[in-house]
Every structure is written in structure tokens, then in C-alpha cells.
């Protein structure tokens, strides 16, 4: 299944006014997205707001290092040991791959591999 492209995924509310943001915007979640981290660092380099640049750089630098999933080879902030049907000793699985397997095993075998259990990193 392919990832969706650009679409209106989030409703953004101004905390000061309680009003919904009018106009186009783009939400980044750098905790588990290496592209978001790169975009934020690029923004910090070109913004005229020096304080904002310093704070973005400090924030991104403080995030835990992303690890790679052994199934999809994508970066992830949290990984799990393989589930009971995947005998892959020493391998680690991201939440996305876990949920994909969970759905597949339920549909094909009627077996639930259970909830994702992080072995490290931050939860998104």
C-alpha cells in the first residue's frame, strides 16, 4: 500500500484564539521522521528569526536517534522485538510493520500477534 501524498490531514487550532487556522499549512513530526528533521534544520538555516533558529536546532538535536526497522528499512523512533510468528533473532520491527503484520495474521490465520511493545525510543 502506498503512502498518501499531500492532503489536509490535520485541523490546526490557534491556542491563543481558539480559532482554526485559515489557509494552507504543513505539520511536521520530527520525533519519528527523518525528512521532518531535515526540513526543520533547513528552515532554521534560512529564517531571519535568530531565536527561532536556535530553538529549532536545539530541539531537533535533542531528539533521540532514529533506528532502522529490519523489515521496511525505514527510520523509526521506536522498535519492537519480532512477534511470535517471526523467528528473526536480533531483528527489530517498527510500529507500522507490526500493525501490517497484525492485520495480515488476523485476516489470514485468525491469530492476533497482540499490541506493539516498544523496546526503546520515544512513543510518537
Residue pLDDT tens, the chain, 124 long: 567 788 888 899 999 999 999 888 999 989 878 899 999 999 999 999 999 999 999 999 998 888 889 999 988 888 999 988 887 888 999 999 999 999 999 999 999 999 999 886 444 4
**Residue the block writes with cell 521506536:** 78
How far, in Å, CA of 50 to CA of 52, rounded? Answer: 5
Q: d(Cα 34, Cα 37) in Å, to the nearest integer?
A: 5
| R_g (Cα) of the chain, nearest Å | 18
Task: Count how many Cα atoms sit within 13 Å of the Cα of residue 28 in the half-sphere of its side chain.
Answer: 14
Q: Cβ distance 72 to 1 under 8 Å?
A: no
pTM above 0.75, yes or no: no
Amino acid at each position: 500500500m502506498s503512502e498518501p501524498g499531500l492532503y489536509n490531514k490535520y485541523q490546526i487550532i490557534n491556542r491563543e484564539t481558539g480559532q482554526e487556522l485559515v489557509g494552507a499549512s504543513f505539520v511536521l513530526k520530527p520525533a519519528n521522521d527523518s525528512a521532518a528533521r531535515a526540513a526543520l534544520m533547513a528552515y532554521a538555516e534560512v529564517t531571519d528569526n535568530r531565536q527561532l533558529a536556535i530553538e529549532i536546532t536545539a530541539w531537533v538535536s535533542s531528539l533521540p536517534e532514529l533506528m532502522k526497522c529490519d523489515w521496511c528499512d525505514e527510520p523509526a523512533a521506536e522498535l519492537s522485538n519480532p512477534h511470535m510468528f517471526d523467528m528473526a533473532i536480533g531483528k527489530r520491527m517498527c510500529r507500522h510493520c507490526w500493525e501490517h503484520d497484525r492485520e495480515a495474521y488476523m485476516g489470514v490465520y485468525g491469530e492476533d500477534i497482540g499490541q506493539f511493545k516498544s523496546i526503546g525510543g520515544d512513543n510518537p
